[in-house]
Amino acid sequence: MTVGNSVPSEKRLLVLAAQGNKNAFGLLYERYLDEIYRFVYFSLNDQWEAEDITENVFLKSWEQLPIIYTNDSQINNFRAWLYRIARNQIIDLFRSKKPVVLEDLPSDETSPEKIFAENKLSDQLIKAIMQLEPNYRQIIVLRFINQISHKEAAQIMQLGYSNVRVIQHRALKTLRVILSEEVS
């Protein structure tokens, strides 16, 4: 699927994939698989559910591409579109299940910013993230784990730019409280 040493642009890959080119879709899949899986995993804290939902995200995108492109539409941001599919799948799963209670894990750090800056996801931080309400959890995963910009996070969550910044601020504030309570 490469031309010389270069990979076709994402836009070209999307057009080819919409026409049924499995290799083009395979390149898109490889490009976004890890970050979509991380997003889903940190939303659910369940490896098997995360794998199933991630698989469904790419299956739905593969099925929808030809429909979108035959209606003279295009996808402006494929990455954001994948995240929206994932987010909707997660919401559907939460609607169909009761919440899971997490067991206590050991603690050793208190500042979420410090942990993120050191790029370490300790058991304590994972536990704290899982205690956040879904919107807070999603913004933390998008912004700090998958390192997505505020602008793209706003597209994914279908919110305004300033709303995303406010949610991020509140999520970090809530994480600080959760982490400080575990140290006490």
Residue type at 142? L
Q: Judge if 128 and 60 occupy the same domain.
A: no
Residue type at 57? V
The pLDDT tens digits for 119-168 are 455 677 778 888 899 889 989 888 888 888 888 888 888 889 899 999 99
Q: Judge if 161 and 82 occupy the same domain.
A: no
Q: Judge if 5 and 90 occupy the same domain.
A: yes
Tokens 């995963």, residue located: 141
Q: Judge if 95 and 121 occupy the same domain.
A: no
Q: Judge if 121 and 172 occupy the same domain.
A: yes
- Sorted by sequence, the CB contacts under 8 Å of residue 172 that are 6+ apart come out as 112, 113, 140
The pLDDT tens digits for 72-114 are 677 788 999 999 999 999 888 877 765 444 444 444 445 555 5
Domain end (from 75, 99, 123) = 99
What CATH number has the domain bearing residue 34?
1.10.1740.10
Domain end (from 69, 99, 129) = 99
Quote the domain boundaries for residue 182. Answer: 107-184
Domain end (from 47, 70, 99) = 99
